[in-house]
Amino acid sequence: MIPQAISLVNWGNGILMIGVFAFVCVALVAALLLMMNSGKKKSE
């Protein structure tokens, strides 16, 4: 049963989804840091 269950997993699609999720997270953090930095510059 275990080898049959393992063969049903599509690792290519899973890795692609994880890569897209990681890219979106990094982009959101970068945008947040840019907004924080630009806010500090405007207030000074």
Q: Residue 12, Cα to own-chain centre: how many angstroms?
A: 16
Enter the pTM of the model: 0.59
The per-residue pLDDT for 41 is 56
Question: What gap in Å lies between CA 14 and CA 22, rounded to an integer?
Answer: 12
The per-residue pLDDT for 14 is 86
Question: What gap in Å lies between CA 33 and CA 44, rounded to an integer?
Answer: 17
DSSP state of 8: T
The per-residue pLDDT for 11 is 74
Question: What gap in Å lies between CA 42 and CA 10, rounded to an integer?
Answer: 49
Domain ranges of the chain: 2-43
pLDDT tens digits along 1-44 = 555 555 666 677 888 999 999 999 999 999 999 999 887 655 44
The per-residue pLDDT for 10 is 67
